[in-house]
Amino acid sequence: MNTTAIRSRGRSRGLSGATGDDATVTGPVRTDRARHERRLGLLLAAPSFLVMVAVTAYPLLYAVVLSLYRYRLTDPGGREFVGLRNYATVLSDPIWWGDVVTTTVITAVSVAVELVLGFAFAWVMYKVLRGRSLVRTGILIPYGIVTVVSAFVWRYAFQLDSGFINQWFGLGDFNWFGGRWSSLFVITLSEIWKTTPFISLLLLAGLVQVPHELLEAATVDGATARQRLQKVILPNMKAAIMVALLFRTLDAWRIFDNPFVMTGGANDTETLSFLAYRQNVSLVNLGAGSAVSVLLFLTVVLIAFVFIKGFRTNLGQMKGQR
Amino acid sequence: MTLRRRVARGWLALALGAAGLAACGGDDDGAPTLVWYTNPDNGGQATLARQCSDASGGAFRITTQVLPNEADAQREQLVRRLAAKDTSIDLMSLDPPFVAEFANAGYLRPITDAADVAAFTDGVLEAPLQTASWDGQLVAPPFWANTQLLWFRRSVAEAAGVDPTAEDVTWAELIDAAASEGKRFGVQGRRYEGYMVWINALVSSAGGAIVEDPGAGAEATPALDSPAGRAAAQVVADLARSSAAPADLTTAGEEEARSTFQGDQGAFMVNWPYVYAAAQASVASGAITQETFEDIGWARYPRVDARLESAPPLGGINLAIGSFTDHPDEALAALRCLLTVEAGTQYMLESGNPAARAAVYDDPAVREAFPMADLIRDSIAAAAPRPLTPYYGDVSQSVQRSWHPARDVDPLRTPADTASFMRQVLAGERLL
């Protein structure tokens, strides 16, 4: 039997074991118990759902309304309805598109590197036999540090007057924060250092869910380590990988602290959240600022939508495997 | 049942917490407590608050709330609170460039009594006084004032054969002198307010202005596209492309410039007078030698055009009464105590921040602590305030954005680009 067969066997076994407990899937058979559980689930979730609506829907709608005005907090008399003009201004502005590029670069690079590194760390945490808690704690420490603090630490390490990086690597007077790409390098590096533990934690959760018997069967069938990884482990971890990717992508997309602390947005290192912050908080330009916020929100929804689209099919695949 | 009881207990705890918080704002002895939002200093404002509370004979008590370090962050916090009509802001320490914006938004309570106006403005140096009024009314009398000086290393200047204390010494001469000795010229070139301070001083020194009619707010006319704007850009470009540019020019603020200046590479620097006391402290901590300290000289801010007097930067702090205060009379009484010559003298000696009133500089103790007292006074008097416009944030940030990094400044292009960019920003056609 080859490994593909193992996979399909696992899948069919999983499907036959499903009881339709996923409320969003309209299965042909729905037992009384499932219906009851579904109702209980909704009841339990209802209070937090209401609170969520109260604290997020109102500000969201208010932001949409504000975005239709030319409105400066310090110039209340000058408030004027301008329709969609703020959106036109934002979307035709090179600053917005420059920030889109910066945010995309940081997100793509950091998430890609973190996924690979995070998997390696998850593997280590999974496999290590001695001092397991020590290793796990060690790997998780960066995630426990406040982002602003870690941003300052990295900034001081790379800064010309207080930094030691240039001395270590013999870089002389190289000003890391003096150019766009070198600044983005430090920002992304700090981001990776800080959040790889998070992704590895999510991947570890996926890793422990890979059924042992499948791995054993694959080993018995003579699959190499590489084949086991590619054909057994990774396919069975798809849901965990998707969750990790979704969380981290959304997180990275909203990056603010690192550029704020390290460069203040200079040298084209400003991100989209930073732009929204500057418009709304520094310039108190609530009209254009709200337009930026609403657009940022739409990009977040888009990312979530794309991921959940891909995520749902995989969840169906994973059902019942525990 | 138990759940309901638990919920009830939760509500009770919340209510008690809220009551406790409300109690914090109450007055125990009947005298109103004034809250003074201060910029961070070494405690000089808190001392004055205590003294004026005592001197009021129980009429009021002043407590201080310290704002963030950076001027931008101080403004953000005050704007947010005042926009929400925060009654707890009785008094505030305000950076002069923000006075117009705050006053225009109706956040500052004008001082109308003629006797008070006279008491708060008589003897105040010319430049800080310009920043105190909006729309013909006194809204934020100067508490202290600040200016930048040219700091130089005597040994380097001597070796290069240049006299920084000469009246007509120019940026170009000093940059060449530093470059010829293989040394650096410390300035504030990071993209932040300090960079705007430098650019404004250069443009004003060349006889121009960044905005023509700043009072017009969003309709103001950007004026950088002028011979003065181009002369200022020339200085920035010359320094950025010369070997006298510090390696961290594009990321340097006041402290980074000071660190370059005090180091082996230091030749010249423009910076606030606090650097003198800081250098003394560096000697005490062993960071620099006494010899290095004695090598430090000071002079008037350099000229852009040898024929035109320089217009040094103006800084400092103005005091204002919040519009939404519940205790306007007590706040005014507090200002009468905080804005005396004696208070200014004490504050200058204690915090190292220069006074806004000329008379303070005649005090023997001040003259002893500040060997350059006369220079500071004259420099403040001749200083050029940054544009007094309610849209100061837009003006300043559009300049910072267009002129950063310094190495990309092109005297022929940058000032014109800045002017058109600023025009679009003010009209709401461009993001900033």
What is the per-residue pLDDT for B27? 47
Percent of chain B at pLDDT > 70 equals 93
Average pLDDT of the residues in A71-91: 91
CA B41 to chain CA mean position, Å: 13
pLDDT interval class at A133 (50, 70, 90): confident
Question: Do residue A89 and residue B430 have CB atoms under 8 angstroms apart?
Answer: yes
B124 phi and psi angles, rounded to 5 deg: -80, 140
Beta bridge partners of B318: B94, B142
Sign of CA dihedral A159, A161, A167, A173: positive
DSSP state of A237: T
| pLDDT for the residue A22 | 44
Tell me what the mean pLDDT of segment A110-114 comes to: 97
Closest CA relative to residue B268, chosen from B245, B237, B252:
B245
Cβ-based contacts under 8 A for chains A and B: 90
By DSSP bridging, strand B61-66 and strand B33-38 are parallel
CB contact under 8 A, B431 and A73: no
- ∠ CA B17-B23-B28, rounded to 5°: 155
Distances (CA, A) of A112 to A115, A117, A154, A191: 5, 9, 21, 12
* B170 has pLDDT over 80: yes
The reply to whether A97 touches chain B by the CB within 8 Å rule is: no
**Any idea which of B36-45, B47-56, B209-218, B312-321 has the lowest mean pLDDT?**
B209-218
Selecting from A74, A96, A178 the residue whose C-beta is nearest the C-beta of B390 gives: A74
Rounded average pLDDT over B9-38: 63
A196: closest CA among A109, A292, A321?
A: A109
pLDDT at B314: 97
Residues of A in contact with B191 (CB under 8 A): 264-267
A111, A160, B248 from A175: Cα distances, Å:
26, 6, 6
Q: Which residue of B has its CA nearest to A80?
A: B428
Pairwise CB contact (< 8 Å): A177 & B394: no
**Closest chain A C-alpha to B430 CA, distance in angstroms:** 6
Cβ(B314)–Cβ(B383) below 8 Å: yes
Q: What is the mean pLDDT of chain B?
A: 92
B277 close to B223: Cβ distance less than 8 angstroms: no
Q: Which pLDDT value is given to residue A142?
A: 94
Of B172 and A18, which is predicted with more confidence? Answer: B172
Least confident of A212-216, A255-259, B86-90: A212-216
Predicted local distance difference test score (pLDDT) of residue A308 = 84
| Residue A131 pLDDT grade (very low, low, confident, very high; cuts 50, 70, 90) | confident
CA distances, A152 to each of A155, A165, A172, A193, A260 (Å): 5, 14, 21, 13, 10
Look up residue A72 and give its amino acid. Answer: R
193-232 in chain A: CB under 8 A from chain B: none
Secondary structure (DSSP) of B242-311: STTS-TTGGG--HHHHHHHHHSTTEEEEEE-THHHHHHHHHHHHTSS-HHHHHTEEEESPPBSSTTS---
Instruction: Write down the pLDDT at residue A10.
Output: 38
**Could you report the predicted ipTM of this complex, rounded to two decimals?**
0.80
Question: Using an 8 Å Cβ cutoff, are B249 and B191 in contact?
Answer: no
Nearest-Cα distance to chain A for B308, in Å, is 33
pLDDT given for residue B13 in this prediction: 53
Scanning A288-317 for CB atoms below 8 A from B yields 288, 292
Residue A312 has pLDDT above 70, yes or no: no
Run of H or E residues at B34: strand B33-38
* pLDDT, tens only, A4-44: 433 433 333 333 333 444 444 445 566 888 899 999 999 99
- The mean pLDDT of B24-35, rounded to a whole number, is 70
DSSP state, B170? B
A272 contacts in B (CB within 8 Å)? none
**Cα(A187)–Cα(A177) distance, integer angstroms:** 10
Give this prediction's pTM: 0.84
Tokens at residue B153, please? 């290393």
Contacts of B190 in chain A (CB under 8 A): 264, 266
Q: Which residue has better confidence, A312 or A242?
A: A242
- Chain B residues whose beta carbon lies within 8 Å of the beta carbon of residue A275: 431
Average pLDDT over residues A177-185: 94
Flag whether pLDDT at A116 surpasses 90: yes
The beta-carbon neighbor of A266 closest among B191, B247, B260 is B191
Whole-number pLDDT of residue A4: 40
Sequential DSSP letters for A115-158? HHHHHHHHHHHHH--TTHHHHHHHHHHHHHS-HHHHHHHHHHHH
The mean pLDDT value of chain A amounts to 86
Residues 6+ positions from A209 with CB-CB distance below 8 Å: A236, A237, A240, A321, A322
B108 CA to chain A: closest CA distance, Å? 12
Residue B110 — left, alpha, or beta (φ > 0 → left; ψ -120 to 50 → alpha)?
beta
Backbone angles phi, psi at B209, to 5 degrees: -145, 160
Kindly state the average pLDDT of the residues A38-57: 91
All residues of chain B having their beta carbon less than 8 Å from the beta carbon of residue A266 are 190-191, 250-251, 404-405
Mean pLDDT confidence for B294-303: 97
Q: What is the pLDDT of residues A276-301, one digit of tens each?
A: 999 999 889 999 999 999 999 999 99
The Cα–Cα gap between A39 and A50 comes to 16
pLDDT at B29: 60
Alpha carbons B386 and B389: distance in angstroms, whole number: 9
Contact A287, A222 (CB under 8 A): no
In a 10 Å sphere around its CB, with 0-12 CB exposed, 13-18 middle and 19+ buried, how is residue B221 labelled? middle
Q: Say yes or no: B290 contacts chain A, CB-CB below 8 A.
A: no
Chain A contact present for B13, CB below 8 A: no
CB B153 within 8 A of CB B267: yes
Q: Does A93 touch chain B (CB under 8 A)?
A: yes
- Residue written as token pair 């001395």: A167
How large is the average pLDDT for residues B176-181? Answer: 97
Region B187-206 average pLDDT: 96
What's the pLDDT band for A309 if we cut at 50, 70, 90?
Answer: confident
From A78, A93, A284, residue closest to B79, measured CB to CB: A284
> Is A22 in the B-facing interface, judged by CB distances under 8 Å?
no
Q: Per the CB < 8 Å rule, is B247 touching A160?
A: yes
Question: Would you list the DSSP string of A64-86?
Answer: HHHTTEEEETTEEEEEEE-TTHH
Which helix (DSSP H) or strand (DSSP E) does residue B138 occupy? strand B137-138
Nearest by CB to residue B251, choosing from A70, A177, A288, is A177
Q: Supply φ then ψ for residue A69, to 5 degrees.
A: -115, 155
B215 vs A81: which has the higher pLDDT = A81
Is B405's CB within 8 Å of A267's CB?
yes
Q: What percent of chain A shows pLDDT beyond 90?
A: 65
B73 reaches A (C-beta below 8 A): no
Lowest-confidence pick of A27-36, B25-34, B66-75, B186-195: B25-34
Residue to test with chain B: of A71, A74, A171, most B Cβ within 10 A: A74
Q: Which of B116, B107, B162, B163 is nearest to B134 (CA)?
A: B107
Residue A53 pLDDT grade (very low, low, confident, very high; cuts 50, 70, 90)? confident
Please give the share of chain B, as a percent, with pLDDT higher than 90.
87
Span B258-268, mean pLDDT? 95
pLDDT band at B26 (very low <50, low <70, confident <90, very high): very low
Q: Please judge whether A264 and B256 are an interchain contact, meaning their C-beta atoms are less than 8 angstroms apart.
A: no
Smallest Cα distance from B392 to chain A, Å: 9
- The rounded distance, in Å, linking the Cα atoms of B139 and B128 is 13
Q: What is the pLDDT at residue A310?
A: 74
Q: Name the token pair of A301.
A: 């929804």
Distance from CA of B231 to the nearest CA of A (A): 24
The predicted pLDDT at position B97 comes to 95
* Whether the Cβ atoms of residue B405 and residue B383 lie closer than 8 Å to each other: no
